[in-house]
Structure 1
Amino acid sequence: MDLTELRGKYIDAVARAADEAALEEVRIAALGKKGEVSALMATLGKMEPEARKAAGAAMNVVKDEIDAALRARKVALADAALDARLKSEWLDVTLPSRPRRMGSIHPVSQVMDELTAIFADMGFSVAEGPQVESDWYNFDALNIPPEHPARQEHDTFFMHRAVGDNRPPHVLRTHTSPVQIRAMTEQGAPIRVIAPGRVYRMDMDQTHTPMFHQVEGLAIDRDISMANLKWVLEEFCRAFFEVDKVELRFRASHFPFTEPSAEVDIRYSNVGGQLKIGEGDKWMEILGSGMVHPKVLQAAGVNPDEWQGFAFGMGIDRIAMLKYGIPDLRAFFEADLRWLRHYGFAALDLPDLPGGLSR
């Protein structure tokens, strides 16, 4: 067959191929191992050198042109198939997506993140400890005497001991203060930490639950005073409650682990059921604080003749109620999804200093 005729035969066949299966049949007939072009190429070995050179060049041209036509037709068929599919599977991308129920972050978790960010901005790191504590860490190291009410069964959850085991029973920690002892024991002084976490006490009403959350702060250095404590608490309240100015009132009190000790009140108003922090003529207690007792420093291996510092503690659930207007503490732990969808936070509601959320 003449090469020009052969070329025209298969170029036309390629153009007439209606789909990729028909196109593959044309390729095999032309360029397959037993195809016509391949058969012609096999005859080159029987030719004289000069004739083989000329015929081989001509055959390669025809082979390349057929191959190029096959490739171009394959792309054209694929494009046509895609176009047909897009037309048959048309989708309006402007339609709103199907609603998907999103999870919520619990207010306690959100407030923990907020206060951690605020105290981190003031140079505090986070310390953690076990929730089941020894009698020594929970009471003795904190200068809590044996006759203190907190060491009675009506106030503390004690762990069971076997009959004949006279060791002091472990307890579900009643505060996160043991974390301060552990942190000082491990890190020494100077130190600046906060200790957020769960604590347990035998109490249950609208503003108390057997399990709740606390954050305690500790700062130990050579020249720390109550003035530093006052500044830290004022800055925290200003950032947390998102107000430009706060007014705190320190009232003398007594805690076994601090001396002197002070309860801290914050000025507020309540007009028409709306609570406003930082203004008004009312005071609300929000936390306890004081200078760390020398006996507590000694128990943690810190020399009280060289070091001193302050400590404070507040209820995370309580300040969450104040900030976000949650009326009943018990609802925090009832696993009501309706409540959580109302008071919960989205994953991207991140703390944004000073104060507030980046929504």
Structure 2
Amino acid sequence: MIDKIKDYIGEAQSFSTENKEELEAFRIKFLGKKGVLNDFFAEFKNVPNDQKKEFGQVINALKNAAEEKVKSIVETLESKEETKGVFGDLTRAAEPVIVGSRHPISIVKNQIIDIFANIGFNVSEGPEIEDDWHNFTALNLPEYHPARDMQDTFFIQTNPDVLLRTHTSSVQVRYMENNKPPIRTISPGRVFRNEAISSRSHCIFHQVEGLYIDKDVSFADLKQTLLYFTKEMFGKSKIRLRPSYFPFTEPSAEIDIYWGLKTETDYRITKGTGWLEIGGCGMVDPNVLKNCDINPDEYNGFAFGMGVERIAMLLYQIGDIRMFYENDVRFLEQFKSNI
């Protein structure tokens, strides 16, 4: 009898199948109510006392072998079914793909670049960590010039000649040093100023500055360039240039567009005037041209600059500049349609 049970153990251990029906038949044969195990347990009472211990051990070995075999084959079959379910059905619906979006600052910056590219402006870039010459001195701001106080600068503590650029005009200086007129370029980029953070200002922001150097450039050329930009960017055809002061341009002006007074928001952002400042501009100072080895007697030009955040806040009616830097997904997802 013990030898017969051992034969069944060998049969159970060697059993293999990939068919559920065959596995079920195996389970019934060994573990079912009328299976061989029940028969052997029923025979246990007839076994001589001196053989009962060995008989019981062999029966338990058969039971364990059968149960382990069933469990092993079930796991194998389920694993194959899962793999087939995931990779085998090519008609299944695809998993939803979350579509990302560009940051509103990037959207507006790219729009500005495209507008000026249409009238021949290329894009120039430069380092965010600058030296005093390119950020100040070459731009007609020598050491101890009082106008330096207009820009609260982040200086590198270990080297007072190194700083975080306060405007992208430093890129224009580098471009003029390495390129001869005619020059027509815009310089988009991030700038830094040591200012208090509030809903209307930040210590980090973005600018796009433009430069045009050639022979016989006039202030009228500057005005027409800015008028073209405001029409393309805002759909506004009315601008004004208010006299102002910038060390690197002379004459200088602030750029205002007529936003209108159609809504309550228009009254709020224009303070009831209908006019809104978007940037500064002017004719390049001859000293700046000299500092960049360009002959001011032969060439002249104009420059302008505007804040990207300010324009984005206008276009999308965003009331707090800090929202651009908080990485709030709920805010950024609103710009998916603009990618």
Q: Distance in 2 between matches of 1:210 and 1:272?
A: 31
Aligned match for 1:254, one of 232, 245, 260: 245
Instruction: Give CA-to-partner distance per residue, 1:290-323, whole Å, 9 cap, x none.
Output: 0000000000110000000000000011101111
Segments of 5+ residues of structure 1 without an aligned counterpart are: 1-84, 163-167, 351-359
Cα distance, 1:183 vs. partner? 0.6
Letter in 2 for 1:140: T
Letter in 1 for 2:292: A
Taking structure 1 as the reference length, the TM-score comes to 0.65
Task: Tell me whether 1:237 sits opposite 2:210 in the alignment.
Answer: no
Cα distance, 1:339 vs. partner? 0.9
Q: Is the 8 A contact 2:199 2:321 kept in 1?
A: yes
Q: Is the 8 A contact 2:231 2:237 kept in 1?
A: yes
Displaced runs of 4+ in structure 1, greater than 2 A?
A: 89-93, 97-100, 145-154, 269-277
Cα distance, 1:147 vs. partner? 3.4
- Between the two proteins, the alignment pairs up a number of residues equal to 250
Instruction: Give CA-to-partner distance per residue, 1:168-221, whole Å, 9 cap, x none.
Output: 421100000011111111012110000000000011211111110000000001
Q: Distance in 2 between matches of 1:258 and 1:152?
A: 17
Query: 5 Å matches for 1:273-288?
Result: 273-275=264-266, 282-288=274-280
Q: Is the 8 A contact 1:160 1:169 kept in 2?
A: no
Identity fraction in percent: 49
Cα distance change, pair 139–282 in 1 and its aligned pair in 2 (3 A): same
Cα distance, 1:120 vs. partner? 0.5
Q: Is the 8 A contact 1:161 1:169 kept in 2?
A: no
Task: Tell me whether 1:142 sits opposite 2:135 in the alignment.
Answer: no
Instruction: Give CA-to-partner distance per residue, 1:98-137, whole Å, 9 cap, x none.
Output: 4332211001111111111110001000011100100011
- 1:231 is paired with a residue whose SS is helix
Cα distance, 1:248 vs. partner? 0.7
Query: 5 Å matches for 1:200-349?
Result: 200-203=192-195, 204-241=197-234, 243=235, 245-275=236-266, 282-342=274-334, 344-346=335-337, 349=338
1:107 matched residue in structure 2: 104
Cα distance change, pair 150–210 in 1 and its aligned pair in 2 (3 A): farther
Segments of 5+ residues of structure 2 without an aligned counterpart are: 1-83
Q: Distance in 2 between matches of 1:91 and 1:169?
A: 63
2:114 matched residue in structure 1: 117
Taking structure 2 as the reference length, the TM-score comes to 0.68
Instruction: Give CA-to-partner distance per residue, 1:277-302, whole Å, 9 cap, x none.
Output: 9xx96111111000000000000110
Q: Distance in 2 between matches of 1:149 and 1:331?
A: 33
Letter in 1 for 2:293: G
2:3 matched residue in structure 1: none
Cα distance, 1:91 vs. partner? 7.8
Q: Is the 8 A contact 1:141 1:181 kept in 2?
A: yes
